[in-house]
Amino acid sequence: MDTVSRKGELRLMLIFSAAVLLMPVWLSPFGAAYPDLLQKFAIFGIFAVGFNILFGLTGYLSFGHAVFLGVGSYAAVWSFKLFTMNVIPAVIFGVIFSGIFAALIGFVSLRRSGIYFSILTLAFAQMSYNLAYSVLTPITNGETGLQLRLHDLRMIDALFIEAGEGLPLTNLFGIKMSGYPGFYFCAVLLIIGFYLALRVKNSPFGLALKAIKSNQTRMGYTGFNSRPYMLSAFMISGMYAGLAGALLAVTDPLAGAERMQWTASGEVVLMTILGGAGTLIGPLLGAGLIKYFENIFSSYDDSLLHQAFSYLPDAMNDVVVGMISPFVGDGWHLTLGALFMVIIIFLPGGIVGGITHLWQRLVKKNQEPTEMEGKQQ
Amino acid sequence: MTTVLNVSGVNKRFGGLQALDNVNLKVEEGQTLAIIGPNGAGKSTLLNVCIGRITPDTGSVEFHGEILTGKHPYEINQAGVARVFQTPEIFTELNLLENVMIPALSKRDGTYHFNIIARMKEEKQIQAEALHFLEDFGLEEQRFSDAGSLSRGDKRRLELAMCLVQHPKLLLLDEPTAGMSRLDTNSTIELLKKIKERGMTKIIIEHDMQVVFSLADKIVVLAQGAIIAEGTPDEVKNNPKVQEAYLGDEHA
Amino acid sequence: MDAIFLQILNGLDKGGAYALIALGLTLVFGTLGVVNFAHGAVFMLGAFCAVTTQHLLTFSKKVKDEGITFFDAYKEVPYLEIWWGETGSFIIDYKVPFSILLAVPVMLLIGLAMERGLIRFFYNRPHADQILVTFGLAIVIQEIVKSIYGANPIPVPAPEIVSGSANIGILLGLGDSVVYPWWRLIYLANALVVIAAVFSFLKFTTYGMVVRAGMQDRETVGLLGINIQHRFTVVFGLASIVVGIAGAMYTPILSPDYHMGMDFLVLSFVVVVVGGMGSLEGAVLAGFMLGVLQSFAAMNEVKAVFPGIDQIIVYLVAVIILLTRPRGLMGRKGVMED
């Protein structure tokens, strides 16, 4: 059994927490140890971990999960506007509203499985996206996106704090949620989220989800009703997405409909697949890698490339830059698409799956000679 | 003796085809009932009517006095009916222990239990029970390997273990030895005999006469949707109608 | 009445594009069993065949502008006009129809390359993998086009003679208030012709019959000693041609840009699902039906009653159909139900 015992769980969580909290240290050699990027690692990590609870455990491929990300963001920004700049209520609202949305969309979509489920979630995502741009403009502020304003109500803040000059900042009881404090806030939530995902995976509930993925017919004749199980899984993963959306708003208080576009849903699928769907650490790894490379690749442009390859002769330099430049800067999506294909073609189990496979082969190779020796004796 | 399943006056039509024609059937506790008949006789329809998957046009089906018609598979299972399929339906990606733990969990927890607090590692009782049944079926050695890697015969064993761990009141077997080698068939027969000794009530649909005659207490012969004979194996064997309709075909 | 008539035309027109895309998608799905998310990108490539034709035909040379005498002025004159004069201008004017000549071989090649180079390795992989790999391919295609042609839409006008509107009201005796752009009528006719061609290919040629048989039961046809694989490759090429023509002809209606494929893809998937996975007739029917519904929902009178309905009508219909008729309008049993 690949489930982890209580002791193993504790050890895993300790290592994991240390790794997450020390990210500013061990990521600095990679040039990734600045707060904006670290926040993204944690936030999209949460998104991917949640997505994996649905896709990795049950095998249902949702192509509309970005909706919940968007709903979480909108809910959080509204909480800032209406009540308080404190982030706790914003996060709670984000999770609750995305949970409600997930319940509604899941209730309908889960009546079908396979590709039909994917299309249904995609249809709901497109509906939400289109509506956010059109009739729901009073709530979403359409193309401009929902932003904070000086004259927002902020009912609770108004009771306690004198309104200052300029736009107020998001805070956790006075601690500003930008820069490193923002990262640590996200990181703590990531650790909690990861722990919950771990518990879900190792629980009877998680086993039932795996059984649904494996064989629906037997599942029914085993006496389990798959639908509430699926709906719970869908809601949990929707709430993770909502949490991630709320955190996006916490670190940068605005929300736009483009966050709900289906390409955004595709991105979280890619993160999960890249790292390894169904594994615990895989989606996190995928999210981190994609955000890291996105950051690096999109910051390069032609002049930077020419600099980077300046040690080459001019003619070579031009050729090399010409070959690489479509993949960087605005062309980051090209790299992403190509990466997507390579992973699915050659590494269906993702990075973690690939490493596990490799490791197993190495172990086997090492074992065979010893067996041979035994026979010779 | 109590009646486990009572089928009375069931008719079912599919378009122009009379699939079941006034079928009456009683299964007593501890009994092994075999349903035989030539292809297209309505055996599968009858089985599906018995577990409520097909609603009869007229007539009724009662399981321990409860009507199963139109219920979901999970409700039927919770009522105490376990089912073995023609091709073993198991959780191929999960290991054997998990395969047996899942039905044990549903027996304990019901159709839905949002239990994310417990750890599977700490479900000692469920684990012990699952292991006990794996031992019973000679599968404990492989308990940590994936169910998909088992041989056909072992898959059937596992499926039976998954059914029996729930201590069902009625076990349905749909051609349990279909597509099996002689060796696997024999071992499955032995297994089913062992289960029979425990007093499990069973309904078997089977083509293989060796299986039927070595297991059944009572045999029902279907032809064109109607019961043409029923009785003990000996009675059925010697019934001229049966020889004509079914056995006759094979001896010809 | 007039308004309703126009909306129906509008809907049929849009539906024509949907139907063509969905037809290709269904062909691929029905024969190869592959869910192709790159199909929208192929549609976009078709449109860019027209753009390329435009570029090629209007390849220009700077010549002195004789019309301006005060100073040396230069203007760009396409080589075609320099060489062939009037005939050259005529060819340039008719670039969109001519682009089909380019689109057909190019799309066939692209289709064959896609099938042989990528798709065939995914026949036996889970549908999720197929979706994901073709999704990746779609991004790659779209980004390549973006890096070549830029991100902005490129206008490709229809021939001068059909750039105006047809007064179909008079033709049909509805009064002279009903006018409709010529090119949209041509597009509708084109869609109908292509659909008819595909159906007659499948119905009346032995080649097509084998393909249809293969759609029903692939293994049996394979057992009959027919190289069904080879035919399916050809079908993939055919599907690419169909969607390529759909894209090329659509350029005067919608100036193509690199992500037009994605926008159409989501819609055409909905169309395919509504029509019923694997049903060609269903795809065509649902394409036209959803097109008409969409244009009715865009009417101000309807929007006044249901605000925002035009944005979601297609998806709403898809959700309703999927929930009430799980297999779509004309779906076959057993398709995609594993």
- Element (DSSP H or E) covering residue C79: helix C79-84
- Considering only CB atoms, B121 lies closest to which of A5, A217, A228, namely A5
Q: How far is Cα C20 from Cα C243, in angstroms, rounded to an integer?
A: 6
Q: DSSP per residue over C13-34, as a string?
A: HHHHHHHHHHHHHHHHHHHH--
| Predicted local confidence at residue C175, as pLDDT | 66
What 3-state class would DSSP assign to C37? coil
Binary contact (C136, A339; C-beta < 8 A)? yes
CA torsion, ordered A309, A311, A314, A318, to nearest 10 deg:
-10
| Predicted local confidence at residue A370, as pLDDT | 43
User: Would an 8 Å CB–CB cutoff place C2 in contact with chain A?
Assistant: no
Other residues' Cβ atoms within 10 Å of the Cβ of residue C199: 15
Distance from the C315 Cα atom to the nearest Cα atom in chain A, whole angstroms? 5
| Predicted local confidence at residue A320, as pLDDT | 75
C-beta of residue A337 within 8 angstroms of C-beta of residue C118: no
> Which residues lie closer than 8 Å to B92 by C-beta, 6 or more apart?
A214, A215, B146, B147, B148
- Considering only CB atoms, A135 lies closest to which of C270, C308, C315, namely C308
Query: What integer best gives the mean pLDDT of chain B?
Result: 86
Query: Which amino acid is present at B124?
Result: K
User: Would an 8 Å CB–CB cutoff place B72 in contact with chain A?
Assistant: yes
Which chain C positions have a beta carbon within 8 Å of A262's beta carbon? 266
Q: What share of chain B is helix, strand, coil (3-state, %, to 5)?
A: 40, 25, 35
Strands laid side by side in the B66-67 sheet: B17-28, B3-14, B58-63, B66-67
C-beta of residue A170 within 8 angstroms of C-beta of residue A250: yes
> Which residues lie closer than 8 Å to A328 by C-beta, 6 or more apart?
A297, A298, A300, A301, A305, A335
Q: How far is Cα A130 from Cα A64, in angstroms, rounded to an integer?
A: 13
Exposed, middle or buried, A37 (CB in 10 Å: 0-12/13-18/19+)?
buried
| Predicted local confidence at residue B91, as pLDDT | 94
C-beta of residue B112 within 8 angstroms of C-beta of residue A229: yes
User: Would an 8 Å CB–CB cutoff place C133 in contact with chain A?
Assistant: yes
C-beta of residue C314 within 8 angstroms of C-beta of residue C293: yes
| Predicted local confidence at residue C29, as pLDDT | 83
Domains (ranges, CATH) in chain A?
Answer: 3-278 (1.10.3470)
Other residues' Cβ atoms within 10 Å of the Cβ of residue C202: 19
Q: What long-range pairs does B214-218 form, CB within 8 A, spacing at least 24?
A: B214/B189, B215/B32, B215/B34, B215/B189, B216/B32, B216/B33, B216/B34, B217/B31, B217/B32, B217/B33, B218/B31, B218/B32, B218/B33, B218/B34
Q: How far is Cα A183 from Cα C299, in angstroms, rounded to an integer?
A: 49
Write down the domain spans for chain C.
2-56+101-324
Distance from the A23 Cα atom to the nearest Cα atom in chain C, whole angstroms? 30
Q: Which chains reach chain C with 3 or more Cβ–Cβ distances below 8 angstroms?
A: A
C-beta of residue B120 within 8 angstroms of C-beta of residue A203: yes
Residues C22-31: tens digit of each pLDDT? 998 888 888 7
Residues B92-125: tens digit of each pLDDT? 999 999 999 999 999 888 888 888 888 888 888 8
| Predicted local confidence at residue C176, as pLDDT | 66
| 3 state SS for C156-198 | CCCCHHHCCEECHHHHHCCCCCCCEEHHHHHHHHHHHHHHHHH
Q: How far is Cα B165 from Cα B105, in angstroms, rounded to an integer?
A: 10
Q: What length does chain B have?
A: 252
User: Would an 8 Å CB–CB cutoff place B167 in contact with chain A?
Assistant: no
| Predicted local confidence at residue C287, as pLDDT | 92
Instruction: Give percent of chain B with pLDDT exceeding 90.
Output: 23
Exposed, middle or buried, A123 (CB in 10 Å: 0-12/13-18/19+)?
buried
Binary contact (A337, C35; C-beta < 8 A)? no
| Lowest mean pLDDT across A193-207, B21-35, C257-271 | C257-271
Q: How far is Cα C36 from Cα C135, in angstroms, rounded to an integer?
A: 8
Of residues A83, A76, A92, A87, the one with CA closest to residue A157:
A83
C-beta of residue C21 within 8 angstroms of C-beta of residue C6: no
C-beta of residue A274 within 8 angstroms of C-beta of residue A16: no
The tokens for C130 are 């197929």
Q: What is the mean pLDDT of residues B186-204?
A: 87
Distance from the A223 Cα atom to the nearest Cα atom in chain B, whole angstroms? 4
Chains B and C touch (3+ CB pairs under 8 A): no
Q: How far is Cα B201 from Cα B135, in angstroms, rounded to an integer?
A: 22
Binary contact (B92, A225; C-beta < 8 A)? no
User: What ipTM is given for this predicted complex?
Assistant: 0.89
| Predicted local confidence at residue A288, as pLDDT | 92
Binary contact (B91, A215; C-beta < 8 A)? yes
C-beta of residue B86 within 8 angstroms of C-beta of residue B175: yes
Give the pairing of strands B32-36 and B58-63: unpaired
Give the pairing of strands C180-181 and C165-166: antiparallel
In terms of CA atoms, which chain B residue is nearest residue A220? B74
In terms of CA atoms, which chain B residue is nearest residue A224? B111
Q: How far is Cα C38 from Cα C145, in angstroms, rounded to an integer?
A: 14
Of residues B33, C303, C131, the one with CA closest to residue A63:
C131
Binary contact (C311, A269; C-beta < 8 A)? no
- C204 pLDDT higher than 80: yes
Q: How far is Cα A336 from Cα A320, in angstroms, rounded to an integer?
A: 20
Which residue stretches of C176-279 are H helix?
Answer: 182-204, 206-216, 218-223, 228-250, 260-275
Q: Mind listing the pLDDT tens digit of every residue in chain A (377 residues)?
A: 455 678 888 899 999 999 999 999 998 888 888 888 999 999 999 999 999 999 999 999 998 999 999 999 999 999 998 988 889 999 999 999 999 999 999 999 998 888 888 888 988 888 898 888 888 888 888 888 888 888 888 878 777 777 667 778 888 888 888 889 999 999 999 999 999 999 999 999 999 999 999 998 899 899 999 999 999 999 999 999 999 999 999 998 888 888 888 778 888 998 998 898 888 899 999 999 999 888 887 777 767 777 777 777 777 777 777 777 767 777 778 888 888 888 888 888 888 988 888 888 888 766 554 444 433 33
User: Would an 8 Å CB–CB cutoff place C286 in contact with chain A?
Assistant: no
For chain C, the distance separating the N- and C-terminal CA atoms, rounded to the nearest angstrom, is: 47
Give the pairing of strands A146-147 and A171-172: unpaired
CA angle in degrees (0–180, nearest 5) for C40-C44-C45: 115
Query: What backbone phi and psi angles, to 5 degrees, belong to A151?
Result: -100, 25
What 3-state class would DSSP assign to C331? coil
Q: Which residues pair with B33 in a beta bridge?
A: B203, B218
In terms of CA atoms, which chain A residue is nearest residue C139? A337
- Considering only CB atoms, A61 lies closest to which of C128, C136, C269, namely C128
C-beta of residue B5 within 8 angstroms of C-beta of residue B21: no
